[in-house]
């Protein structure tokens, strides 16, 4: 290839290229195919960098899942792909007077975005460390309409119900009956339902005449709920072994490539991310 030909080449996009907050917000709206200007304003007010751990700050505006905590006691958690977060919140169709319940606070990013679109958000998190950090981040933004509750999310939170909207950022085997009981007539819920690794679907439901009518929205992959209710979720050991196996390098090359695809990243970029910011060197060698 000569110099003239090189000069005419269109440069490949670099997902690690730094973006401004405005560029990030616009990009997420486009990726999620969302046109609600309220969401764009929410993305500008709720900076994702505040919700991403310090070692991952360079990747805060990348459209990818990132680790929150890894192998801290009995816990593993992530901050979801931002375009998917935006898409899910948009599907909820939050109104200014909506009372919303979120299962799986995580970083607090999703509940903070929701707070800009509705009257009240109750968000449930079982991991104490995440509860503390989410409260700190939300308070730092002077958000006053979000309550972060430490509890088993599989049970919902009847004290502040009934709710107009219920959303979950963790996967479950089925929709808990408690969610239907705590949902207002005419209210909607959205949560990932399926097994630990394969066959999860976003299920969108609406309560009509006391019953929940549901449709499958799309195929997804979410961190599993940790709960003592075996009919709804998984034991810590089951979920932990599946999630942490990635960091131990015991997944084959095809599995690693598939995981990279789930995170909306090329295998090369995924390997770079793992090596650069997580230290998962062994696992990433096979996908460089």
d(CA 46, CA 52): 12
d(CA 192, CA 172): 6
Q: Quick check: 188 and 201 in contact, CB under 8 A?
A: no
Catalytic residue among 64, 80, 83, 111: 80
Q: Quick check: 195 and 173 in contact, CB under 8 A?
A: yes
Q: Specify whether 80 is catalytic.
A: yes
Tally of residues, the chain: 288
d(CA 31, CA 230): 36
Q: Residue 269 contacts by C-beta under 8 Å, 6 or more apart in sequence?
A: 15, 16, 260
75 has which bridge partners?
72
- For residue 110, what is the enclosing H or E element? helix 109-115
Longest alpha-carbon distance in the chain: 70
Residues serving a catalytic function are 80
């Amino acid at each position: 290839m000569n110099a003239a030909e090189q000069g005419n080449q269109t440069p490949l996009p670099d997902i690690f290229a730094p973006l401004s907050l405005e560029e990030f917000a616009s990009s997420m709206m486009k990726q999620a195919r969302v046109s609600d200007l309220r969401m764009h304003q929410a993305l500008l007010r709720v900076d994702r960098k505040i919700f991403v751990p310090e070692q991952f700050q360079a990747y805060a505006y990348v459209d990818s899942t990132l680790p929150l905590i890894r192998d801290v006691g009995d816990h593993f958690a992530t901050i979801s792909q931002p375009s998917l977060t935006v898409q899910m919140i948009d599907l909820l169709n939050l109104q200014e007077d909506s009372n919303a319940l979120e299962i799986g606070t995580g970083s607090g990013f999703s509940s903070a975005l929701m707070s800009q679109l509705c009257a009240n958000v109750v968000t449930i998190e079982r991991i104490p460390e995440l509860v503390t950090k989410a409260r700190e981040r939300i308070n730092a933004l002077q958000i006053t309409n979000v309550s972060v509750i430490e509890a088993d999310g599989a049970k919902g939170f009847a004290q502040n119900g009934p709710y107009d909207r219920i959303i979950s950022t963790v996967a479950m085997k089925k929709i808990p009956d408690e969610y239907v009981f705590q949902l207002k007539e005419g209210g909607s819920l959205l949560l990932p339902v399926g097994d630990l690794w394969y066959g999860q679907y976003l299920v969108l439901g609406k309560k009509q005449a006391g019953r929940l009518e549901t449709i499958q929205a799309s195929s997804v992959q979410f961190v599993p709920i940790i709960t003592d209710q075996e009919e709804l979720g998984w034991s810590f050991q089951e979920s932990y072994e599946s999630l942490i196996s990635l960091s131990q390098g015991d997944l084959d090359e095809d599995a690693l490539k598939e995981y990279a695809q789930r995170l909306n990243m090329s295998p090369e970029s995924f390997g770079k991310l793992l090596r650069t910011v997580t230290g998962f060197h062994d696992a990433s060698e096979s996908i460089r």
